[in-house]
Amino acid sequence: MVKRPLGGPCAFDEAFREMAVELSYAKGSIQEAARELGVDPGRISKWRQRHKKTDQNLLLNSTLTDEQQQIRRLQRELREAQMDRMAEATRYNPAVSIFSKTDGKCSDL
């Protein structure tokens, strides 16, 4: 079983994620693969979804122009940078995560 460090997120490298996805398809069950690897089944499910999106994006990218592919790549990098920034902010100040969540209502304070 893989254990995460105390107080820190559990980080699995990309090779492990791909192997877990392949194992779940080979076994025909996310539950069995998760049990065997000591990982939460929800993680493997998310990794499988991401794997499917990547495959779909590869098919889509083959029909896009170079400029369109560059725009998509830059948009993806921007999203990842924004998520990393939010993760760092919440790591150092947990109150940020509380106040940064929106409920869809606008407030003029």
Does 4 map to a domain?
A: no
Helix H or strand E encompassing 92: helix 66-92
What pLDDT does 85 receive? Answer: 82
Q: Does 54 share its domain with 83? A: no
Task: List CB contacts of 109: < 8 A, sequence separation 6 or more.
Answer: none
- Let me know if residue 109 belongs to a domain: no
Sites in the chain below the pLDDT cut of 70: 1-10, 55-62, 90-109
Q: Is 59 inside a domain boundary?
A: yes
pTM (two decimals): 0.43
Residue 34 lies in a domain: yes
What does the alpha-carbon distance between residue 24 and residue 31 come to, in Å, rounded to a whole number?
8
Residue pair 88/95 in contact by the 8 Å Cβ criterion: no
Is 106 domain-assigned?
Answer: no
Q: Give yes or no for a contact between 19 and 8, defined as CB atoms under 8 angstroms apart.
A: no
Structural domain that includes position 23:
11-63
pLDDT for 13 equals: 85
